[in-house]
Structure 1
Amino acid sequence: MRGMVARSTPPLVKPKPAPKLAPKPSLKLRMRVTVGDIIAIGPGKIALLQALDETGSITAAAKSLDMSYRRAWLLIDELNRALKTPAVATAAGGAKGGGSALTDSGRALITLYRQIEDTALQAAKPEIRQLMKLLAT
């Protein structure tokens, strides 16, 4: 092997990962109705009501939102106390088990909350466009 030059194998070249696309800016309104220091109605409570309506139980609703049962129960209790009529009707457990369900008031609350969000977004469209133009994207 005299006079021969040892050839080394070229290093493996890893392909460069595709460049990450910058996330597109979005706007989320987070309306809260307070009574003193208490958030009587807010996005978390509305999400909990919707989850309860979909799942049929506080336990399942809490799990779907990565929330403890106790936290969900406290939020529902706080909401019910803030309203003239409860948003959630609950039955104590027993031989047949307990249960929870949205009341007509709870369904109306979700509908009104979402309508207010939509109305506010529509009303502020020109200002939202101007705001988004200020972002570095």
Structure 2
Amino acid sequence: MVGAGRIELRLRIRRGDAIAMGPGKADLLGAIDAHGSISAAARAIGMSYRRAWLLVEEMNGCFAAPLVETRPGAGAQLSDDARAVLAAYRKAEAAAVEAAGRELAGVGRLLKPE
């Protein structure tokens, strides 16, 4: 929080031109973990199945081993690497917001009232 405003950061991990991990991909991984399938995860976060599948393919292509493992008729699950990446990403996200809050603490008084 910055006075009457709020801090929103979009942390991204890039591999070349591709976004290997970002807020939407992190949310998708969390939903896949919770729901056990890409289609159920997509529905849960309001994303089309096609978009979710493309994001999974991009993530899987960016990392040395697939983050999401699929099996016909058995849904999808996160790999151990995916859990590690997601945990590190969420921790970095929280740390970045906390650091930005400290640095921007005085900016709130400069904002117009809502």
Number of the residue aligned with 1:59: 39
Q: Identical aligned pairs, as a percentage? A: 45
Q: Which runs of 5+ in 2 are unaligned?
A: none
Give aligned pairs, total: 110
**Distance in 2 separating the partners of 1:40 and 1:74:** 12
**Distance in 1 separating the partners of 2:107 and 2:90:** 22
Number of the residue aligned with 1:38: 18
**Distance in 2 separating the partners of 1:71 and 1:52:** 14
TM-score normalised according to structure 1 size: 0.74
How far residue 99 of structure 1 moved from its aligned partner, in angstroms, is 1.5
Q: 1:85 aligns with which of 49, 59, 65?
A: 65
Question: Deviation above 4 Å: which 4+ runs of structure 1?
Answer: none
Query: 1:50-89 CA distances to partner (integer Å, 9 max, x unpaired)?
Result: 0111111101100011111111011001001101122111
Query: 1:12-54 CA distances to partner (integer Å, 9 max, x unpaired)?
Result: xxxxxxxxxxxx5211211011223221111000000001111
Number of the residue aligned with 2:27: 47
Secondary structure of the 2:47 match is coil
Task: Give the structure with higher Rg (CA).
Answer: 1
Structure 1 residues 78 and 67 mapped into 2: Cα distance closer, same or farther (>3 Å)?
A: same
Q: Which runs of 5+ in 1 are unaligned?
A: 1-23
Q: Is the 8 A contact 2:7 2:101 kept in 1?
A: no
Output the aligned Cα RMSD.
1.4
Determine which structure has the larger helix proportion and give its number.
2
**Distance in 2 separating the partners of 1:90 and 1:136:** 49
Number of the residue aligned with 2:97: 121
**Distance in 2 separating the partners of 1:25 and 1:125:** 11
TM-score normalised according to structure 2 size: 0.87
Q: Is the 8 A contact 2:18 2:62 kept in 1?
A: no
Q: Which amino acid aligns with 1:52?
A: I
How far residue 125 of structure 1 moved from its aligned partner, in angstroms, is 2.9
Does residue 99 of structure 1 match 2:75? yes
**Distance in 2 separating the partners of 1:122 and 1:66:** 28
